[in-house]
Amino acid sequence: MSRILVTGAAGFIGSHTVELLLQEGHEVLGVDNFRTGREANLQTFLTHPRFRFLRGDVAEPGELASLSTGFRPDAIIHLAAMVSVPESIAHPAENHRLNFLATTLVADVALAAGARRIVFASSAAVYGTNDALPLSEDATCQPLSPYGEAKLQSEHHLLHAAREHGLTVRCQRYFNVFGPRQDPSSAYSGVISRFHDALTLGRTPTIHGDGEQTRDFIYVGDVARANLLAATMPRVQSGTANICTGHSVSLNQLLTAMAQAAGKTCQPLYGPARAGDIRQSLGSPARAKLELSFQPATSLDAGLATLFAR
């Protein structure tokens, strides 16, 4: 059993990760300030005997240190973040605070508390436009957004701390994560949650651009397992790995598949393409398989079926 501190525990990926850690017998301290996380996401495990939740802002200097006093984590899984690319363009200073400065504070807490491992929620957004598909971790990183920049800077900061202090740091470059509990309520929300909302409420979904942009969608349960492995697998070395499936679909194909899963027909509205939007995104899952023995188990169709069955 490990003691694991999870930031962003009430978020979409955070709550699935905590749930799996508890199922696997670990002790978890979850922290979240409910900026985008939700209390409802904690419901299924809030009273679990090996779970404790504390409300707090990881980006506020000193706050995580005081919240986690006495917990002595073996590992920290740092998922708290501003998750939206367009929001980072609209609010670059806040992006810097939440997606970079907070990471440095988490590294400080890990060192002070004696944690041996940090798992960091990085992103495919670090690559920016790159035609060398599928993207391997050695591909050139040229982020198109403040979001991607901050994630890349955070990776560098943590890997530097790992070298300096002998920690193990795993940077998980998530591609497009989808599944239950993804909040559809903002224009910045993940596209599958937006399309799901539109299809179930009988509204017209909007496609930004021509819909031929592609994404590698990975199911949140698989991402939670990748986090579990990165945090707890013995003899793991520091490094960076894509958390992806190695398959991509266009948004037009996605919407057709989702309409089918919902048993509906659907004509979207096409709007202007988003600033900072990556055209093609497809990752190579080879390194995560090699270094973490991680392979996604849920196909896009199976994940969509779960979403529509709820």
User: Would you please indicate which residues are annotated as catalytic (active-site) residues?
Assistant: 147
99 within 8 A of 82, measured Cβ to Cβ: yes
The least distance separating ligand UD2 from the CB of residue 26, rounded to whole angstroms, comes to 25
Binds ligand UD2 (CB under 6 A): choice among 53, 100, 174, 219: 174
Q: x/- binding map, residues 227-266, to ligand UD2, per CB under 6 A?
A: ------------------------x---------------
150 within 8 A of 99, measured Cβ to Cβ: yes
Q: With respect to ligand UD2, which residue has the nearer C-beta, 111 or 273?
A: 273
Residue 187 amino acid letter: A
Residue 125 amino acid letter: A
Q: With respect to ligand UD2, which residue has the nearer C-beta, 117 or 194?
A: 194
The least distance separating ligand UD2 from the CB of residue 277, rounded to whole angstroms, comes to 5
Site for ligand UD2 in 76-105 (CB under 6 A): 83-85
Which CA distances in Å does 114 have to 71, 167, 292?
10, 9, 23
User: Which among 207, 285, 194, 305 is positioned nearest to 252, based on CA atoms?
Assistant: 207
The least distance separating ligand UD2 from the CB of residue 189, rounded to whole angstroms, comes to 6
Residue 137 amino acid letter: E
Q: With respect to ligand UD2, which residue has the nearer C-beta, 54 or 89?
A: 89
Q: Site size for ligand UD2, by CB under 6 A?
A: 23
226 binds ligand UD2 (CB under 6 A): no
26 binds ligand UD2 (CB under 6 A): no
124 binds ligand UD2 (CB under 6 A): yes
Site for ligand UD2 in 142-171 (CB under 6 A): none
36 binds ligand UD2 (CB under 6 A): no
123 binds ligand UD2 (CB under 6 A): yes
Site for ligand UD2 in 181-210 (CB under 6 A): 189-191, 194, 206-208
Which CA distances in Å does 152 have to 58, 99, 100, 147?
19, 10, 9, 9
Residue 26: which residues within 8 A CB-CB, separation 6 or more?
A: 1, 2, 3, 4, 50, 232
225 binds ligand UD2 (CB under 6 A): no
The least distance separating ligand UD2 from the CB of residue 217, rounded to whole angstroms, comes to 9
Binds ligand UD2 (CB under 6 A): choice among 41, 99, 176, 242: 176
The least distance separating ligand UD2 from the CB of residue 163, rounded to whole angstroms, comes to 25
The least distance separating ligand UD2 from the CB of residue 244, rounded to whole angstroms, comes to 10
- Footprint on this chain of ligand UD2 (rule: CB under 6 A): 83-85, 123-125, 174, 176-177, 189-191, 194, 206-208, 213, 215, 251, 274, 277-278, 281
